[in-house]
Structure 1
Amino acid sequence: MNFAPSPIPQTEPPRDCPRCPRLVALRESLQAEHPDWWNGPVTAFGDPAAWLGIIGLAPAQYGANRTGRPFTGDRSAPLLFGTLAKFGLASGEYEGKPDDTLALDGAMILDAVKCLPPENKPTPEEIRTCRPFLEGQAAALPHARIFVALGQTAHQSAVKMLGGKLPKCRFGHLAEHRMPDGRILIDSYHCSSYNQNTGRLTTEMFEAVFARALELRDSQ
């Protein structure tokens, strides 16, 4: 499998990042079981000139941990990339592999946690340990003044990364939070297949998040 390079390689952890022992153990077991997978910290994906940062939780086992590109191969990908395309933030064709023609225009996808966590549940310590990478990647996007957090865990890490205070920034779908430096965070329920299948997140609800991001961009 061909793996897509990072658009901001200077901000990425090493492939054998040793910081989180539990995540390292899972990575090493999957490297032995699936040597043709990516099996490492998943790199950012998107436009280095992005005005919008999209913050996910962590790679999924059969999605980004396998393919090496955020959301690629995951069941949440069609909604995410389809929505981005609808609002002019993606071009090309998504085919579930990192060497397809999909490209992001004006957006960059980052993760709160770079490595696959067991049962898709990173610990608070793992989230804290990985946050410097999120901070470095956001800092590498000088034009990104608006961020979208996919889910509550991504919201919490994004608030801290952007210099906000959690008690003042409560998570809620379509909630907006203005940070001390003027950057804006918009919350969304995660576009997971579970949230879609249960009706917690509909296509219309998800599209409303990105419609609002565009409104905020155009008003600045």
Structure 2
Amino acid sequence: MTTRGPDRVSSLAELDAEVVDCRACPRLVRWREQVARDKRAAFRAWDYWGRPVPGFGPADAAMAIVGLAPAAHGANRTGRMFTGDRSGDVLYAALYEVGLASQPTSVTADDGLSLRGVRITAPVRCAPPENRPTPAERDTCRPWLARELQLLRPTLRSVVVLGGFGWQALLPVLAASSWRLPRPLPVFGHGRRVRLPATDSGPELELFGCYHVSQQNTFTGRLTPAMLRDVLARAGAAAGLLPAPDRGAGDG
């Protein structure tokens, strides 16, 4: 099955419906489908999603969270971003604690979880081997993220980027979508905050860097729950979804 392509859809609902049929990256198609067939022993009874994973959250979101790619036995199994894996456990617990999610756990795509003014997405929509998409796969998938952000533009006020891969993937998308980026381009860092000015086509946007919620970061303490909550709270305040927290180091 072929898709209409992201440029030919006019709503996020259409975009989400189209992206799940994408087969543009042969290596990722083979891997996601192999994982869905072979499964993990703990999930042997599951009917794996095994397709590209659409974004999750309301179409009028004021805040976006940009990750890396679906996990092989997480979103590639459940069909919803950051659902069913340890990274999602950390992310959704923090979103709940700051008041941006309806519950602290995310187990299945129909578990009743809803997000308050937040949409979660990724620059690569298929699970990659070893959680490492190639630059070519990132670039091939870029139009989906670009169109998603264009459709969100009227309401979007802040973006939390989880990790350097997502940061590097997002900046070209923003530049191509008429946001004005500072020069030199801002480098990724945890707690980094960058304001992009309003333009004729949309309001001001604030970017927030955050270490990825991977087990490598959360198990070692590089990213603690408090650190994650702090970034989410600041981004939520910038989006008008939460009260403004005390300002501190990392703004700029």
Instruction: Using structure 1 for the length normalisation, give the TM-score.
Output: 0.89
**What percent identity do the matched residue pairs reach?**
43
- On the 8 A contact 2:95/2:104 being kept in 1, the answer is no
Q: Please, which of 173, 180, 189 is the counterpart of residue 172 of structure 1?
A: 189
CA distance in 1, matches of 2:133, 2:56: 21
* Aligned length in residues: 213
1:167 offset after TM fit, Å?
A: 4.3
Q: 1:38 to 1:51 in 2, by over 3 A?
A: same
Partner of 1:186: 208
- On the 8 A contact 1:186/1:213 being kept in 2, the answer is yes
Partner of 1:207: 229
Is 1:149 the equivalent of 2:161?
yes
Q: 1:32 to 1:166 in 2, by over 3 A?
A: farther
1:211 offset after TM fit, Å?
A: 1.8
Instruction: Using structure 2 for the length normalisation, give the TM-score.
Output: 0.78
SS class of match (2:121): strand
Partner of 1:87: 98
Partner of 1:160: 172
Partner of 1:73: 84
CA distance in 1, matches of 2:106, 2:210: 24
User: 1:52-75: CA deviations, max 9, x gaps?
Assistant: 000010000110000000010110
- On the 8 A contact 1:94/1:101 being kept in 2, the answer is no
- On the 8 A contact 2:96/2:104 being kept in 1, the answer is no
SS class of match (1:46): coil
SS class of match (1:149): strand
- On the 8 A contact 1:159/1:166 being kept in 2, the answer is no
Greater gyration radius? 2
CA distance in 1, matches of 2:36, 2:221: 35
Paired AA for residue 161 in structure 2 = A
- On the 8 A contact 1:38/1:68 being kept in 2, the answer is yes
User: 1:75-94: CA deviations, max 9, x gaps?
Assistant: 01222111111222111463
Paired AA for residue 12 in structure 2 = I
Higher mean C-alpha deviation, range 23-32 or range 95-104: 23-32
1:104 offset after TM fit, Å?
A: 0.4
Q: Please, which of 59, 65, 72 is the counterpart of residue 48 of structure 1?
A: 59
- On the 8 A contact 2:33/2:51 being kept in 1, the answer is no
Q: Which has the higher contact order (CA 8 A, sep 6+)?
A: 1
Paired AA for residue 173 in structure 1 = H
Which structure carries more strand by proportion?
Answer: 1
CA distance in 2, matches of 1:25, 1:160: 27
Q: 1:28 to 1:178 in 2, by over 3 A?
A: same
SS class of match (1:98): coil
Q: Which runs of 5+ in 1 are unaligned?
A: 1-6
Compute the RMSD of aligned alpha carbons. 2.0
- On the 8 A contact 1:47/1:107 being kept in 2, the answer is yes
CA distance in 2, matches of 1:25, 1:209: 36
1:130 offset after TM fit, Å?
A: 0.5
- On the 8 A contact 2:158/2:236 being kept in 1, the answer is no
Is 1:127 the equivalent of 2:138?
yes
CA distance in 1, matches of 2:168, 2:194: 12
1:24 offset after TM fit, Å?
A: 1.4
